[in-house]
């Protein structure tokens, strides 16, 4: 992307826009992204149904594979990268991820805590008699 002064890499990038303009390079980027996504998805589905691995590790593996695939989508499809022209987009993404983490981890933590401290259901029933 070059601006009116003809200097490359001077302007910021809109999310979704790429720095390179050659069609071949862009096509290759999408193909690499598709290949990696297919690979990660297939691994995820395989791990979910297999008994070849230690069973308690399966949920962790699925979550890690999912996060990796989201990263692949962000970089190769949405073109949110660590390039210097992409700083604002990455900062917004980081803030969004912070909120997502707080909402999900906070909900799980608080609800598990409440559940743990709640009186067993039979005792509540007895108190209501």
Partner 1 sequence: MSMAAVADGHSVRVIGLEDAGHEGPASKRIITGFGFWIFLLSDIVMFSCFFAAYAVQSGQTAGGPSGAELFNLRNVAIETAFLLLSSFACGMASIAAEVRSHLWFQIGMAVTCLLGIGFLIIEFREFADLIARGAGPSGSAFLSAFFALVGCHGLHVSAGTLWLLTMMAQVFAKGFRADILRRFLCFALFWHALDIIWVAIFSVVYLLGSAA
Contact with partner 1 (CB under 8 A) among 39, 44, 75, 81: 44
Contact with partner 1 (CB under 8 A) among 8, 32, 53, 63: 63
User: According to the binding rule CB under 8 A, does residue 13 interact with partner 1?
Assistant: yes
Cα gap 97→95, rounded to integer Å:
5
Closest-CA residue to 93 (of 79, 109, 103): 79
- Supply the DSSP symbol for 8: B
Cα gap 121→123, rounded to integer Å:
6
Contact with partner 1 (CB under 8 A) among 30, 32, 53, 124: 30
Contact with partner 1 (CB under 8 A) among 32, 82, 83, 100: 100
User: According to the binding rule CB under 8 A, does residue 91 interact with partner 1?
Assistant: no
User: According to the binding rule CB under 8 A, does residue 2 interact with partner 1?
Assistant: no
- Nearer to partner 1 by Cβ, of 108 and 123: the residue is 108
Residue 79, burial from CB neighbour count under 10 angstroms (0-12, 13-18, 19+): buried
């Amino acid at each position: 992307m070059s601006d009116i002064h003809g200097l490359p890499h001077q302007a910021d990038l809109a999310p979704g826009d790429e720095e390179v303009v050659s069609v071949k390079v862009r096509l290759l980027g999408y193909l690499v992204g598709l290949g990696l996504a297919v690979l990660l998805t297939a691994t995820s589905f395989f791990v979910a149904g297999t008994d070849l691995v230690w069973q308690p590790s399966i949920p962790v593996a699925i979550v890690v594979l999912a996060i990796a695939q989201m990263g692949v989508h962000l970089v190769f499809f949405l073109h949110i990268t660590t390039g210097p022209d992409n700083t604002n987009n990455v900062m917004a993404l980081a803030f969004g991820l912070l909120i997502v983490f707080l909402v999900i981890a906070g909900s799980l933590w608080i609800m598990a805590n409440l559940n743990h401290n709640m009186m067993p259901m039979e005792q509540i029933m007895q108190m209501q008699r």
